[in-house]
Amino acid sequence: MIDRTGNSILYYTLQQDEQHERFRHYPKGDRIDRTSGAQYFYHCHRENFDSTEHGHFHCFLRYKHIPKYIKPARIADWDKYIDNPMTHIVAIGMNNLGLPIRLFTVNRWVSSEIWYDAKHAQKLINKYQMTLTDNPYWQVLDQWVNAMIRLFAPQIAWLYTERDKAVLAHFKTNTNEPVYENKAIEELSSINIDLNEQIHWIMNAP
């Protein structure tokens, strides 16, 4: 994905930095909308551009901005991460050209989140909206993340369902092992995406 100046969306995650550093959050301290509760950051697991997936955006919605009628999942320690409460909406995997290539969900220990069942997915997706007007540079990234959440809302909702199925399947075969804190399970659902195909599908929908 290239803008009119020839820069990919990954360019807008760097600002004054020359290149991405492994595991560092971009922007520093995350991009947090205190009005809407939307939040995101980008980070990479690889310091070079040789791998298929360079890094990914993690998108969150902060707990206090989620309507109280949307209840967290009924798990014993649902409030384990209540000190910095948020829920993970989706992760957007990016290739080295700055194109989104997949969406995925992560286990609770990865995101340190308040867990919600898949039945609430669409409501959480609808609530996600970056509305900051403080910095034109970062607003480019804000608008891109907003658009991705909207464009791929059906896939994100499907990922929630598949995530919950994976959790249930684990419980059935490992009744004494809490899946949410299992360090061997990092991702719970994933789907490959193609931005052009998605736009074409939406434009030609009946």
The amino acid at residue 79 is D
Per-residue pLDDT at 173: 86
Which one has a higher pLDDT value, 206 or 10? 10
Classify strands 38-44 and 55-62 as parallel, antiparallel or unpaired: antiparallel
Looking at residue 21, its pLDDT comes to 78
**From CA 173, how far away is CA 103, in angstroms rounded?**
26
d(CA 171, CA 13): 38
Q: How confident is the model at residue 6 (pLDDT cuts 50, 70, 90)?
A: low
Q: Give the pLDDT score at 50.
A: 55
Q: Are 115 and 180 in contact (CB under 8 A)?
A: yes
Q: What is the DSSP string of 40-78?
A: EEEEES-SSS-SS--EEEEEEEEGGGS-TTSPPP--TTT
Q: How confident is the model at residue 4 (pLDDT cuts 50, 70, 90)?
A: low
Q: For 116-160, write each residue's pLDDT tens digit.
A: 999 999 999 999 999 999 999 899 999 999 999 999 999 999 999
pLDDT grade for 2, boundaries at 50, 70 and 90: very low
What does the chain come to in residues? 206
The DSSP code for 98 is S
Which pair of tokens denotes residue 99?
């194109």
* Residue 171 scores a pLDDT above 50: yes
| pLDDT of res. 45 | 74
What's the CA gap between 145 and 83, in Å, rounded? 26
Per the prediction, the chain carries an average pLDDT of 90
Whole-number pLDDT of residue 22: 81
pLDDT digits (tens, 9 = 90+) for 50-90: 568 889 999 999 999 999 999 999 988 889 988 889 999 99
Do 170 and 155 contact (CB within 8 A), yes or no? Answer: no
- Chain centre distance of CA 179: 20
Strand residues in the chain grouped as ranges (E): 26-32, 38-44, 55-62, 86-94, 100-106, 187-192
pLDDT at 26 over 80: yes
Measure the CA–CA gap between 184 and 60, rounded to whole angstroms: 23
